[in-house]
Amino acid sequence: MATMRLLHLALLVRAGVRSFTTHRAPLPRNLSLPSPTTLPSSILHRHALRPQRPFSHTAGRRNEWRDPRRHDPYERLRGAKPLFTSEGFSRFIRSPSLHTVIAISVGGAVIFYFSNIQTVPVSGRRRFNCYSEAKVIAAGEAQAKRIEWELERAGKRFLDDWDWRTRLVRKVMQRLIPVSGMEDSQWEIKVIDDPHTANAFVLPGGKVFVFSGLIPIAGNEHGMAAVLGHEIAHNLAEHVGERMSSQLGANILLYSLITLTGGIGILVTSWMGNAILDLVFSRPMGRRQEAEADYIGLMMMAEACYDPHEALGFWERMRRMSEQGPPEWMSTHPSHSNRIQKIQEWMPKALEKLQESDCQGTAGFASLFRQALVGRNYMEKRDDI
């Protein structure tokens, strides 16, 4: 009987399970369980190799827990190589293929620039303009739609055609359009009901926007003619295309600097580049364009039989109403005092135009200006060829 119990115990040890019998008779006092050394060596060896586990009918599962150091998401980043290195950048700068690309790009840019140089007839100023009139008009029409949408979104409304302010603007435009040389444009006049804004602008293609707050400052038809003649002159002199071309050239120059620096300090380069280009090129160009538009608009209103002295009165009122602004060198527009001084210098010429005009609405000065602009640019391109 004792031998059978020992054999049963050995089988339990081999299977690595416990006995689930509810009652077990005590062993005789003169018997004791054998020590592990009394069991056969084969049983001990197999028992040592096999881990003990509780009795279960489910299949054994592998331990899914892994060493967290193996799955550190930043482990590869710590050992990653930098995208830009000083050594790699030096090799890139010394690359012969890069020098070839730069030489071809610079040469092409120079040829493109000088092939699109124009001369403004009134001032003799040389300028870069690479946009055709059709593209500028398309841009103006898109801008007009955007402005209308923004005004409607802001709760502004356009005055009706029968409103006296709208009729005033239309009457002035009917006398200025024939002398502008732009009769073929699709003119569209809109007056915005905003007494707190004194502004007006004419977009390429003939879209005219006038804020009602400007009408009291203009005072009468003659003052309104000074304002609208100035705005029409911007389109006659193709200033919008010039500004678009300057932005294109500035962006090319800026992105070239960013590329040559290897993308290092993009934000700093972009901010500093934009600030420098704006201060050195954009603002002076804006002041020159405003001066040209003042002169052309003054001559146009004189040919339309409007009193050019009213231009002086308008800018005098603007100077009294305007607050102290930034210095002229920081602005895109000349100061009111400078404008008044220039108009006084041009006044004898404007009065001469007024006396010579037959007041029949013929496009005298404006047509000559456009013919000179087109003819001079054509001759310059032939000389380049």
Of 227, 167, 154, 141, nearest in space to 194 by CA: 154
Whether 53 is covered by a domain: the verdict is no
Of 164, 298, 291, nearest in space to 229 by CA: 298
Whether 274 is covered by a domain: the verdict is yes
Cβ-contact 120, 237 below 8 angstroms: yes
The type of residue at 55 is: F
Whether 237 is covered by a domain: the verdict is yes
Please tell me the predicted confidence (pLDDT) of residue 235: 93
Whether 102 is covered by a domain: the verdict is no
CA–CA separation, 239 and 287 (whole Å): 11
Cβ-contact 297, 122 below 8 angstroms: no
Whether 9 is covered by a domain: the verdict is no
Whether 116 is covered by a domain: the verdict is yes
Tokens representing 253? 């120059």
Q: What pTM was estimated for this model as a whole?
A: 0.68
Number of domains in the chain: 1
Cβ-contact 165, 194 below 8 angstroms: no
CA–CA separation, 130 and 247 (whole Å): 11
Whether 82 is covered by a domain: the verdict is no
What string of pLDDT tens digits covers the 385 residues of the chain?
556 665 565 655 555 555 444 455 555 555 555 555 555 555 545 555 555 555 555 555 555 555 555 566 667 767 777 766 777 767 777 788 878 887 888 788 889 888 999 988 777 889 999 999 999 999 999 999 999 999 999 999 999 999 999 999 999 999 999 998 888 899 999 999 999 999 999 999 999 999 999 999 999 999 999 999 999 999 999 999 999 998 887 777 666 666 665 555 555 656 676 777 788 888 999 999 999 999 999 999 999 999 999 999 999 999 988 766 677 777 888 999 999 999 999 999 999 999 888 775 555 566 666 666 666 554 555 455 4
User: In a 10 Å sphere around its CB, with 0-12 CB exposed, 13-18 middle and 19+ buried, how is residue 301 labelled?
Assistant: buried
Full residue range of the structural domain in which residue 380 is found: 107-384
Please tell me the predicted confidence (pLDDT) of residue 120: 85
> Known catalytic residue: 231?
yes
Q: In sequence order, what are the beta bridge partners of 158?
A: 192
Please tell me the predicted confidence (pLDDT) of residue 277: 75
Local structure of 151: helix, strand or coil: helix
Q: Which residue among the candidates 148, 183, 231, 303 is catalytic per the annotation?
A: 231
Whether 91 is covered by a domain: the verdict is no
